Structure 1
């Protein structure tokens, strides 16, 4: 593919979904800088292997260098399209994409072609109403969804259509049609998102990649309680130019088809029952899925420790009530920090006087 074609495609992808592009780059950076990069930074662009064909010989330093030359996505998406530049002037015109080294351009193009497409949800309370009944036991009803979870951004996840345009009916669709489905939450370390976006959410039980215990046996674990799932979400520093902020963590909202290898914990939380033999999980239940083909990631909740200004950020909260609720929650956290420091100062003052 010619460089000009790559430039146009990168521009189009950044323009179509700037937040999605930011997240894909950020997830790669988080994996790249992890102490587990040999496993979580998978897949890895073949152009950046030290030795062609040797999957264990990844050039992390070259990847880091290429990322350092990335411009901010909003600079790409707000610049003029290379298609609109007159051929006689193109030699004198360099927008953010054209100024990138070829290695950086190729890496960015590769990163923007994952298994899933990501788009920012404009009206979270309305769109995610299907998830709300799962957490009624937490005392939140209706549009109080954002008060419970308080994500800073919500990304819609859509599987990339096959190049031939044909949608083959999968095991997920056929099982969902016959047995139904359920939504649940899955917490994961931020460094895992890159691999998840490119490979899907896989059952890694009894492999060297398993990171958590499996009290109910092998499988991918979910919870109907968002607060339980959040305890498994671990933050990590991301891309310095990300519109989301510096340190991010994620929560996956998944739809699970109730097939034969899907189980719920019983009301006592002591044993598993087959989802196909049950009307639905009890409040606060764990869901264990042993067949990854029965899982679909529908949304990604993005939690940022520090939010940054971005021209499109206002679209993340078109509902003013959502904004006020998040601000109230964040305000409570800030007051807690202030009271703790005041108490520490009081103790130090008393100790000094004595």
Structure 2
């Protein structure tokens, strides 16, 4: 409990983003395939107890409220268990940290400016452990050796919000990419505006302090390897077996080897107005819950006022003018 409280106090925005990504994957109709990793405490043999996870997730308080509950000892044990797994055990080889927005300016210097002005709401940095051995995570010794040999550059990758729970754990896996117009691989671009259409605004978490609606773009560090496909002529076999030339568009890169890249940052574009509206509605709901008798009296008085208005001569005269028989 102390470790969880310390993590929430140290970087509440990073914790909020981790929970939001999980909630988005959980609520997606594709949760069977994208909710990976899945909390092991809700596995029954080979079966996922998805209903229990949804039940606990629906009761998760905001990060601010959870910190208060942890301090006064009223936090729900299931909440502690799930959030602790998300922050500590879900990504053993990676830690999330909120970066200053100035980090985006540094990245733009490396990638070049977008075709149109765009500014993220938050920048989340992924701190990978060098001991990681998963190629999909791209943070292990193999990536380090390749980057030292060939050098690296930065590029963007757009994806739906619900995919980022898996991306934060496994990185970008080339064979899972659905876009194969110019060959199999992970599609990147040095122009952020190219990736934005692939990152539509989606539902995140109703209790998020970042915003109830958001879109995300991954920023990847990419090994500048000769096998990397970029904006030049590429040869492939057509369905008929003939060799054809594909022109990869300018500023596009296609990474077929997972060891050639790692996710370094995530740009979060949050709808802050939705956060304010949900907070206002939550405050109103809590106030009505605390004052049930007063709420019932007010609603009863409103009902009497409506009935009185409908029976008034003014309303009858007005209705005859608007709807003459």
- C-alpha contact 1:154 1:301 (8 A) present in aligned 2: yes
- Matched with 1:332 is none
Alpha carbons of 1:65 and 1:58: their partners in 2 closer, same or farther (altered >3 Å)?
same
- Is 1:61 matched with 2:39? no
Displacement of 1:28 in angstroms is 0.5
- How many pairs align? 255
Is 2:214–2:270's contact at 8 Å kept on the other side of the alignment? yes
1:9 to 3, 7, 19: 3
Q: Deviations over 1:150-180 (max 9, x none)?
A: 11111122114659xxxx9612111111111
Match of 2:189 among 223, 232, 256: 223
Is contact 2:229-2:255 (8 Å) kept? Answer: yes
Matching residue of 1:29: 23
Aligned to 1:327: none
Q: Distance in 1 between matches of 2:21 and 2:42?
A: 18
User: Which residue in the other structure is 1:101 paired with?
Assistant: 76
Q: 2:125 aligns with which of 127, 135, 156?
A: 156
User: Separation in 2 of the partners of 1:97 and 1:179?
Assistant: 53
Query: Could you tell me which residue of structure 1 aligns to residue 154 of structure 2?
Result: 183
- Residues 219 and 95 of structure 1: CA distance in aligned 2, closer, same or farther (over 3 Å): closer
Taking the aligned partners of 2:39 and 2:228, their CA distance within structure 1 comes to: 34
CA RMSD of aligned residues (A): 2.6
- The DSSP-based 3-state class of the residue aligned with 2:14 is helix
Partner of 1:237: 203
Tell me if structure 1 keeps the 8 A contact 2:143–2:260: yes
Match of 2:28, SS state, is coil
- Indicate conservation of the 8 Å contact 2:110/2:153, yes or no: no
Instruction: Quote how far apart the aligned CAs of 1:30 are.
Output: 0.2
Mark the CA change 1:304 to 1:136 in structure 2 (over 3 Å): closer, same or farther: closer
The equivalent residue for 2:109 is: 132
Change (3 A) 1:112 1:137: closer
Please identify the structure whose Cα radius of gyration is greater.
2
Structure 2 portions without partners, runs of 5+? 133-138, 236-247, 277-325
Report runs of 4+ in structure 1 exceeding 3 Å deviation.
94-98, 125-128, 160-163, 306-309
Q: With the length of structure 1 as denominator, give the TM-score of the two structures.
A: 0.66
Give me the whole-angstrom Cα distance separating, in 2, the residues matched to 1:252 and 1:16: 23
Following the alignment from structure 1 to structure 2, what is the Cα–Cα distance between the partners of residues 283 and 290?
Answer: 16
1:246 matches 2:223: no
Following TM superposition, by how much is the alpha carbon of 1:149 offset from its aligned partner in structure 2, in angstroms?
Answer: 2.4
**Residue of structure 1 in register with 2:164 after alignment:** 193
What is the CA–CA distance in structure 2 between the aligned matches of 1:130 and 1:105, rounded to whole Å?
36
Partner of 1:111: 86
- Residues 276-306 of structure 1, C-alpha deviation per residue, up to 9 Å, x if partnerless? xxxxxx9942111111122121111111233
- The answer as to whether partners of 2:221 and 2:261 remain within 8 angstroms in 1 is yes
Q: How far does residue 232 in structure 1 lie from its aligned partner after superposition? A: 0.7
The offset of 1:197, in angstroms, is 0.9
TM-fit CA distance, 1:36: 0.4
Aligned to 1:348: none
Alpha carbons 1:152, 1:301 under 8 Å: kept:
yes
Instruction: Summarize the Cα distance change of 1:137–1:26 in structure 2 as closer, same or farther, 3 Å threshold.
Output: closer
CA distance in 2, matches of 1:169, 1:117: 14
Asked if the contact 2:131/2:141 (under 8 Å) is kept, the reply is no
Match of 2:234 in 1: 271
Residue 74 (str. 1) matches residue 64 (str. 2) = yes
Mind listing any 5+ residue stretches in structure 1 that lack a counterpart?
1-6, 80-93, 139-146, 273-281, 310-354
